[in-house]
Structure 1
Amino acid sequence: MDGTNDPAQEDGGPFGRPLFDKPSARALSRVGVVDVGSNSVRLVVFDGAARSPAYFYNEKIMCALGAGMSETGRLNPEGRVRALEALKRFRLLGDGMGTGPLVAVATAAVRDAEDGPEFRDEVERETGIRLWVIDGREEARLSAQGVLLGWPGSYGLVCDIGGSSMELAEINGGTVGKRMSSSLGPLKLRDLKGGKKARKAQIHDTIARMRQELGEQKNRLFLVGGSWRAIAKIDMERRGYPLHVLHEYRMTPKAVRETAKYIEKNDLEELRNRADVSSARAALVPYAIEVLREVVRTFKPHDIAVSSYGIREGLLYEQMPQQLRDRDPLIESCRFAEAKDARIPGFGRVVYDFIEPLFKSAKPDRRRIIKAACLLHDVSWRSHPDYRAEDCFDNATRANLGGLKHSERVYLGLALLHRYSNKREGTRFADLYDLISERDAQQAEVLGKAMRFAAMLWLRKDAKLGQMRWYPKKKQLELSLSPEAAPLFGEVAQARFQSLAASLGAEPAIRTARK
């Protein structure tokens, strides 16, 4: 999303006004969320720019509350003890981090268990945490909102798998539509009597009913949940994929089928070690892949995206005012980083205005990456000069930034690498360059060198540097310097301008305005 027509961005130019300085956003600056699931109990503390928060703290305890419930109807006794101890710890951690009261939800295991109400009361009595037990439709809605936190305005079908349930919810234009819950969690499927044949029938019949209710859903399939992430890791290992970032990792229906066969043919213990999957997650993968294969076969999505955002992020999204929800999470996160770490916060906008004529033909999706690069162009200045370029690339490709495809991460990383270095050959990231086209790599180099030159004309955040004009047909790059910037155009600045012109294959022309 470009967001340049948003009235809330009045006087903010192409970037808009940063909302994290407003009281409504500061109230969300540190929020603690607890998710009591059928398989794990997790605390996440969010901090930073409210629209695209950093994970200030993240801890997970594998409790398997839902294990054995198919036979007993009750929570796993050992898991119940572990969960209570974890919640006691989380309460103390939240107090120490200043989160205020923790927002805590429990899903399928607690809502379905005979002793679920008893466990909920025990939690409140022993820890002071009020546990909200939500039904399947609400779980689906919150998971879908978590996806919207990272992909505002997105459309498709959100598939959230937990230990004891699997939810589907449609999203369209930033809103959550139809949603359904099922008992297709891998813990329940593992305990199902009748073996693989019974599981296959249960999975097929359940998803067929969900398809009848939800209708055709051939857009993007968003995968939420630890079992899906484990499968994505295995898919990465099978493909030899170089960027080990799960959020926004893409798979095709064909890749899901091939990975399902790959899991069947390989020893699970060896596979989990190669793919770096925990033993608890790996044990559920054979059941989860059966569900995923049937979901893909039934709904026929055009592509599949893994989301690291789910119910916990959905709870944060729930607390946001609409004005904040509508903002671009990437730009908000980069603005926050600039305000926190740049030497002159606000200078990124000056850089963008100065180099924008080089990218007149850029589409909105590309322009937002250019904006992000300009905001981040100076946040790594504390790194050692010998490693600064690589640190920039590493941070951009692996940072917790929402709304970025993997190819866009590499484009952004290359641009920031070239902000500090003329060359990209010989780095330890060479295998990642294949994720973008040679043309995009060359454009990222131009962007990086443009920022590298603009940084030499460094005055203040309201500086008037002059203008650059780019004539692609004539292959001419014209620089008109303002009187206040002209004395800054020294030898190093001249060399950087020449390097930028060379990357464009352009003839440089320099003009200096008189006072």
Structure 2
Amino acid sequence: MTTRVAAIDCGTNSIRLLVADLPDPGAGPEVPLTDVTRRMEIVRLGQGVDRTGRLAPEAIERTRVALASYAADIEKLGAERVRMCATSASRDASNAGDFRAMVEQTLGVAPEVVTGDEEARLSFTGAVRGLPADAEPPFLVVDIGGGSTEFVVGTREGGVTAAVSMDIGCVRMTERHLHGDPPGLDEIAAAQADIALAVDRALDVVPGRQAATLIGLAGSVTTVVAIAQGLREYDPERIHHARVAYEQVAQVTADLLGRTREQRLAIPVMHPGRADVIGAGALVLRVIMERAGMPSVVASEHDILDGIAWSLR
């Protein structure tokens, strides 16, 4: 017996939908869920939140349009249970009530504005299920979002040991520091210092320096890995569980930060909505690897969205 569920992850930069069939509750942890559909739209809900403390009306409207399309898919595909989690942008906004009302009217269920700790735990669940057997624990899972980055340490058997969320997402760091096109060396240095301070604080809370395997989640990581692999088109199957060395991440980061937005758009695997913030996202990944002493990162296409789906079991 399977259960069809719908999970929605609404972050600072993107909103994503997963409709999936969950296996019988008696199935073991190695049994994966079965995708029915996955969708992603860049809506930039967190536009200007770091500066104004409010969600912009046009950002809420972009999100509403995407959510209405998702609601139609959920009804058509017959999902029995629906859960929507809203993360960093709607945690920070003073007008979060406007966003909540829009979601309830459009989707028919209220969004759950999850805490950073819950966000981290959902990300860990999504990432660790289905990992190759030779992936050495303990794992440091990092989910680099638009407004925040979650750090989680744990094992498959024991679950989460420690988790923390830091406000160093790719949108937030771009808006705060990287204003040039391409950004200047002083801007990059300021962003790097800001990120390093937050990463060190995170690694004081979670024992990430003692982890054996770094697992990177979300679009910044998967895009960097796709570029490092030299892919001519975005291929989730080749990206999922690919391992990339620190030296490759550093090279891709330097290249991205040295390009203009138009030059980044010309990269075959680049999503148009990510081109203006990918430099900051790559920089967050590079600094995490440096501060945690990680020689490589394993990319995962499964993340908080999958964790939300598993929570409906």
Give TM-score, length-normalised by structure 2. 0.86
- Among 113, 116, 126, the alignment partner of 1:136 is 116
Does structure 1 residue 44 correspond to structure 2 residue 18?
yes
- Among 155, 172, 177, the alignment partner of 1:172 is 155
Amino acid at match of 1:202: D
Amino acid at match of 1:273: A
How far is 1:206 from its partner? 0.8
- Among 32, 43, 47, the alignment partner of 1:67 is 47
Amino acid at match of 1:232: V
How far is 1:268 from its partner? 5.0
Change (3 A) 1:273 1:211: same
Which of the pair has more CA radius of gyration?
1
How far is 1:125 from its partner? 3.2
Alignment of 1:211-250 (within 5 A): 211-215=203-207, 216-237=209-230, 245-250=238-243
Amino acid at match of 1:249: A
Deviates more, 1:107-116 or 1:274-283: 274-283
Change (3 A) 1:266 1:38: closer
Change (3 A) 1:85 1:77: same
Say what the alpha-carbon RMSD is for the aligned residues: 2.6
Aligned to 2:86: 106
Q: Distance in 1 between matches of 2:68 and 2:273?
A: 23
Q: Distance in 1 between matches of 2:43 and 2:261?
A: 21
Aligned to 1:191: 175
Aligned to 1:162: 145
Structure 1 unaligned blocks of 5 or more? 1-22, 321-515
SS of residue in 1 equivalent to 2:7 = strand
Q: Distance in 2 between matches of 1:243 and 1:72?
A: 36
How far is 1:78 from its partner? 1.3
Contact 1:230 1:281 in 2 (8 A): no
Deviation per residue, 1:339-395 (Å, 9 max, x gap): xxxxxxxxxxxxxxxxxxxxxxxxxxxxxxxxxxxxxxxxxxxxxxxxxxxxxxxxx
Contact 1:45 1:58 in 2 (8 A): yes
Contact 1:33 1:43 in 2 (8 A): yes
How far is 1:317 from its partner? 2.5
Amino acid at match of 2:155: N
Whichever structure has more strand as a proportion of its residues is 2
Contact 1:230 1:282 in 2 (8 A): no
Contact 2:195 2:287 in 1 (8 A): yes
Q: Distance in 2 between matches of 1:43 and 1:120?
A: 18
SS of residue in 1 equivalent to 2:152 = strand
Contact 1:110 1:117 in 2 (8 A): no
Q: Distance in 2 between matches of 1:249 and 1:152?
A: 11
**Number of matched pairs:** 294
Q: Distance in 2 between matches of 1:269 and 1:100?
A: 43
Aligned to 1:31: 5
The share of aligned pairs that are identical, in percent, is 27
Change (3 A) 1:243 1:55: closer
Q: Distance in 2 between matches of 1:257 and 1:239?
A: 20
- Among 68, 91, 111, the alignment partner of 2:71 is 91
Contact 2:8 2:18 in 1 (8 A): yes
Deviation per residue, 1:257-283 (Å, 9 max, x gap): 222233344555345434321121122
Does structure 1 residue 289 correspond to structure 2 residue 289?
no
Q: Distance in 1 between matches of 2:226 and 2:268?
A: 6
Amino acid at match of 2:138: Y
Give TM-score, length-normalised by structure 1. 0.53
Change (3 A) 1:302 1:100: same
Change (3 A) 1:145 1:269: same
Alignment of 1:260-409 (within 5 A): 260-266=253-259, 269-320=262-313
How far is 1:298 from its partner? 0.6
Q: Distance in 2 between matches of 1:248 and 1:282?
A: 23
